[in-house]
Amino acid sequence: MVSFQPEKFVTCNCCGKSILEKCAIEDDGNLLCGDCVVKSTKKEVKQVEQNAAEVRKKEYEQARREVTRKQRQRVVGIFSLCLAIFAGVQAFNYLNRPEPVKSVHVDLSENLDTVRSIIIFALDSYRRGNGGNVPATLDELIPEYLPLKLKPYFKELSYKKISDKEFVLTNDSQE
Ligand SMILES: [Zn+2]
């Protein structure tokens, strides 16, 4: 008394092939044949691989961008450093620039009029610094109003204090 159960067939939802029900595999509510399960699995694997490849590509792109950004930063950094060095050199050169010519060399022994002018100028400064009074002698002008190196020329000139506020300075060689 063996009951005979006829084999039941179902249709693969994917390829439409007729397959034994016991061989069908359910996948997401679909009945699939073995081939389609393998194919869909391969497809999934492929999809996963593709996704992974995309993620890797994105990560690579991101890493590459980061490297580029860092390189740019470094370039900017080096450029800034160069600018700073350049500015420093400029500042150094500026601070160490040669002094402009302050005076023209004049041979004073040949030019007593110039000496006299300088002394008159110094006497004027002295007067302003001493309540309008003039000094008793030219020596009092040194060193505040006249440099010591002009002292040798005093003997070539004649200085006379006439009053507290008046003087006469003559160039002896011209008399
Ligand atoms: Zn199939």
Q: Which tens digit of pLDDT belongs to each residue from 10-42?
A: 999 989 999 998 888 888 888 899 888 888 888
Token pair of 98, please?
Answer: 């040669």
| CA–CA distance, 164 with 76 (Å, rounded to integer) | 73
CA of 6 to the centre of ligand 1 (A): 22
Q: How far apart are the CA of 16 and the centre of ligand 1, in A?
A: 6
How many CB atoms lie under 10 A from the CB of residue 156?
14
Query: What do you get for the CA distance between the two ends of the chain, in Å?
Result: 169
CA distance linking residue 111 with residue 32, whole number of Å: 124
Residues 6+ apart with CB under 8 A from 60: none
Residues 142-169, mean pLDDT to the nearest whole number? 90
Query: What is the Å distance from ligand 1's center to 53 Cα?
Result: 29
CA 48 to chain centre: 50
| Mean pLDDT for the chain overall | 86
**pLDDT at residue 73, rounded to an integer:** 87
Q: Which residue has the tokens 């030019």?
A: 111
Whole-prediction pTM value? 0.39
pLDDT at 173 over 70: no
Identify the pLDDT of residue 102: 67
Q: How far is the CA of 41 from the centre of ligand 1 (A)?
A: 12
The helix or strand, by DSSP H or E, that contains position 169, with its residue range, turns out to be strand 166-171
Ligand 1 centroid distance, CA of 5 (Å): 24
54 C-alpha vs ligand 1 centroid, how far in Å?
Answer: 30
Quick check: 139 and 154 in contact, CB under 8 A?
Answer: yes
Distance 121 CA to ligand 1 centre (A): 120
Under the banding of pLDDT at 50, 70 and 90, the label for residue 94 is confident
pLDDT at 59 over 70: yes
Residue pLDDT, tens place only, 118-137: 899 999 999 999 999 999 99
| pLDDT score of 97 | 83
> For residue 103, what are its two tokens?
């005076």
Q: Which pLDDT score, from 0 to 100, does residue 113 have?
A: 83
Cα-to-centroid distance, 52 and ligand 1 (Å) = 27
pLDDT at 104: 64
Q: Give distance in angstroms: CA of 172 to centre of ligand 1.
A: 135
Distance (Å) from CA 25 to ligand 1 centroid: 10
CA of 31 to the centre of ligand 1 (A): 8
Beta bridge partners of 150: none
Ligand 1: centre distance to CA 28 (Å): 14
How large a percentage of the chain has pLDDT more than 90? 37
pLDDT at 68 over 80: yes
Predicted confidence at residue 175, as pLDDT, reads 46
Whether 149 shows a pLDDT value over 70: the answer reads yes
DSSP string of 38-107, one letter each residue: HHHHHHHHHHHHHHHHHHHHHHHHHHHHHHHHHHHHHHHHHHHHHHHHHHHHHHHHHHTPPPPP------
- Write the burial class of residue 125 (CB in 10 Å: 0-12 exposed, 13-18 middle, 19+ buried): middle
The total of other beta-carbon atoms located within 10 Å of residue 169's CB is 15
